[in-house]
Structure formats: structure tokens, C-alpha cells
Amino acid sequence: MSEKERCLRPHHVFCLHFQVDFSERGEGFTGKTSEIKRFVQEEQEMSFKLTEGPDDVCSVCPAFDGKGCSHPNGDEKEVKKWDHILLKTFELHFGDVLTAKEVKEILVQRYPIELCKRCPLPGKKLCAPYKAGQ
């Protein structure tokens, strides 16, 4: 993996950089999510490889139990479903690599998608800038 590539599960590539406040998950988690957000918003020369199962972000998340996600709003079984729905919706596959620019273009063109209706996070309107193409 190059320094300019991050391996992430699909819903982290497409969802984690929205303006949701994750401060209760600790500095390690907010540091990782802020990085992803910055890469996408600034369209930096960074790419994301879509991976299956827990990733680097999970490893610093308090909801990670060492094997998978144990978050009450979406355990590993549930978040795996989100990952598969995103891949299907965007016609992507595990192992595909997207640049930060491509991720942003997909969001601008396709947001909001059907999966957004099931999003358990508060403040879904925070994702709205992508509707406006910002």
C-alpha cells in the first residue's frame, strides 16, 4: 500500500467525512475521520481501496471488539450490509481503488442514496453540502 492510499470499508469512504461530531469516540478516531474528510473535500492526491470487514478506522474505535463492530446502532452484521449496499448502489467491488476526487464526484452526483434513509446518525442534514455540489 502506498502512502497515498488508505484501505477502508465502503461506508467509511462514503460516509465518515461528513460533518458528524465523533468526539465521544476519542482523538484516535476523530483524527482518522478528519483526515478522510480533508482528503475528499480538498480532492487531495489520495486514493481509497475498498476493503471488506474491519479497517484502520475500526481499529481505533471504541465500538470495535477486536473481531468486528459492536456498535448498538449497527453491529458488524449490520455495517457489512451497509458496505454491500453501497458497493451495489455505486456499481463498485471490494478491491476497487477510488481517488479522493472520484469519491467526491460520486457523492455530488448521487447523494442522497436510498441507504441514507436508514442512517442512524443524528443530523443527516449535515450531508447536504454534497447535494449542492460543494
Asked whether 60 and 26 are in contact (CB, 8 A), the reply is: yes
Residue 123 or 133: the one with the smaller Cβ distance to ligand SF4 is 123
**Of residues 36-65, those binding ligand SF4 (CB under 6 A):** 54, 57-58, 61, 63-64
The smaller minimum CB distance to ligand SF4, of residues 84 and 101, is found at 84
Angle, vertex CA 134, rays to CA 54 and CA 52, nearest 5: 15
Please spell the DSSP secondary structure of 79-130, one letter per residue: HHHHHHHHHHHTT--TT-EEEHHHHHHHHHHHPSPGGGGG--SS-GGGGGGG
Q: Are strands 47-50 and 97-99 parallel, antiparallel or unpaired?
A: antiparallel
Cβ nearer to ligand SF4, comparing 6 with 71:
71
Interface residue with ligand SF4 among 15, 79, 98, 106 (CB under 6 A) is 79
DSSP state of 42: T
Among 8, 50, 69, 98, binds ligand SF4 (CB under 6 A): 69
Nearer Cβ to ligand SF4 (20/108)? 20
Which positions touch ligand SF4 (CB under 6 A)? 54, 57-58, 61, 63-64, 69, 71, 79
